[in-house]
Amino acid sequence: MYEAVTRAIRVRVEPQYMEDQSAPEESHFFWVYTVTISNEGEAMVQLRSRLWRITNANGMTQEVRGPGVVGQTPAIAPGQSFSYTSGCPLDTPSGIMVGSYQMVGEEGEMFDIEIPAFSLDSPFTHRSLN
């Protein structure tokens, strides 16, 4: 599990390689990841948008921006959490994802919170020590 805390908002991510949705012989590798956003602060916040940077094993980076997550812009009360699951295909057996969520506070203040960098590793990942 990977996690980061920004302004009392905790973001936890658990990635999982999906062998049954991957086709290594066709350079298609697929992961799902579950994100839990917990409001450990004292004020309501709402998730407005997301920014992902997805880098494959060859160093090719793609940015994905958009409103909300999985079609929602959840409001998260103090002491509450919101979880969702999404997916990521790559053409290499490993990669890295990192990003941020744009949030808005009760007073209308916009701010970004960190999504921790997390690795996407398949059984086909070749590791070497230098």
Question: pLDDT tens, 87-129?
Answer: 999 999 999 999 999 999 999 999 999 999 999 999 886 655 5
The answer regarding whether domain 2-121 maps to CATH 2.60.40.1470 reads yes
Which range (45-49, 54-58, 86-90, 124-128) has the least confidence? 124-128
Query: Sheet holding 81-90: strands in order across?
Result: 2-6, 9-17, 29-39, 81-90
pLDDT, average across residues 47-58? 97
| Domain residue ranges in the chain | 2-121
Closest CA to 119 of 94, 83, 91: 94
14 φ/ψ angles, rounded to the nearest 5 degrees: -125, 105
Percentage of the chain surpassing pLDDT 70?
A: 95
pLDDT, average across residues 51-80? 97
CB 97 within 8 A of CB 118: yes
Percentage of the chain surpassing pLDDT 90?
A: 94
